[in-house]
Structure 1
Amino acid sequence: MNALGDAHLRSWTLRFMALLAADTEDQLAWLGERELETESVVEEAELLCRVSEGLTERGVFEPGNLRDLQAIGRRLGEIDAACRAEDWANALATDPAWDEIRALARRLLLTTLGDWRQPVPRPARPHTNDR
């Protein structure tokens, strides 16, 4: 990948990790009225964790960052199918896995950026068929 693409993937990974690191109240505020399945969040984060291996090989992330991202990916992989099928807002309130993922994401951001408190990504607009 080119440097611009690598920079974009690094930026997106860190912004998404900021969402995972945020306090539950902030995550719920980010969700707003949207219904988002836990599976979608898990898939996006797992993809970013996998992509980080190549980014680390190209010097975009440090090896310590990769270990943190791999730990996040492993913990996400342990979330069972029943929990993945539920609404993420419900999962945040009931599944202790998200507390562990939050702690891992905070550790990554702390070591990478010096502070885990980072702006969360802007929520995507709901898709409509209107033009």
Structure 2
Amino acid sequence: MNHLGDAHVHTWTLRFMALLAADTQDQLAWLGERELGTKDVVEEVELLCRVSEGLAERGAFEPEDLRGLRAVGRRLGEIDAACRVGLWGNALATDPAWDEIRSLARRFLRTRLGDWRQPLPRPVRPHTGDH
């Protein structure tokens, strides 16, 4: 990856961690009417956690940051396949794993940025098929 790519992935990782760290009500408000699958969220975060290894090698994350991201990735990996089915908004309300992930994401953000309360990423507009 180039430096611009590193910066983009670094920023996206921090934004996604901010979303994972947010209170459930804020996460649900961020989702709005979007139907985001739990499996998609898990896969996206697992990818960001894996890519962060390379970012750490290039100095974009500190070793302590990497430990936090690994903890989030490990906990996500423990989510049962059956619990990955369905919408993330429903899982947030019913699966206690998301409370643990929220706590790990908050710890990561406090370590990295000094506070877990960060702006949430701008929601991606749903694809409508129109051009």
User: Shorter chain as normaliser: what TM range?
Assistant: over 0.9
Give the residue type in structure 1 aligned to 2:29: A
Match of 2:68 in 1: 68
Match of 2:40 in 1: 40
Q: 1:7 Cα deviation (Å)?
A: 1.0
Task: Work out the CA distance in 1 between the residues paired with 2:129 and 2:41.
Answer: 23
Q: 1:56 Cα deviation (Å)?
A: 0.4
Give the residue type in structure 2 aligned to 1:17: M
Structure 2: segments with no counterpart, 5+ residues: none
Match of 1:98 in 2: 98
Q: 1:127 Cα deviation (Å)?
A: 0.5
Match of 1:109 in 2: 109
Structure 1: segments with no counterpart, 5+ residues: none
Task: Work out the CA distance in 2 between the residues paired with 1:79 and 1:103.
Answer: 15
How many residues are treated as equivalent by the alignment?
131
**1:15-48 Cα distance to aligned partner (Å, 9 max, x none):** 0000000000000000001111100000000000
Match of 1:118 in 2: 118
Task: Work out the CA distance in 1 between the residues paired with 2:113 and 2:83.
Answer: 31
Task: Work out the CA distance in 1 between the residues paired with 2:130 and 2:73.
Answer: 37
SS in 1 for 2:5: helix
TM-score (norm 1): 0.98
Match of 1:129 in 2: 129
Give the residue type in structure 1 aligned to 2:28: L
Match of 1:58 in 2: 58
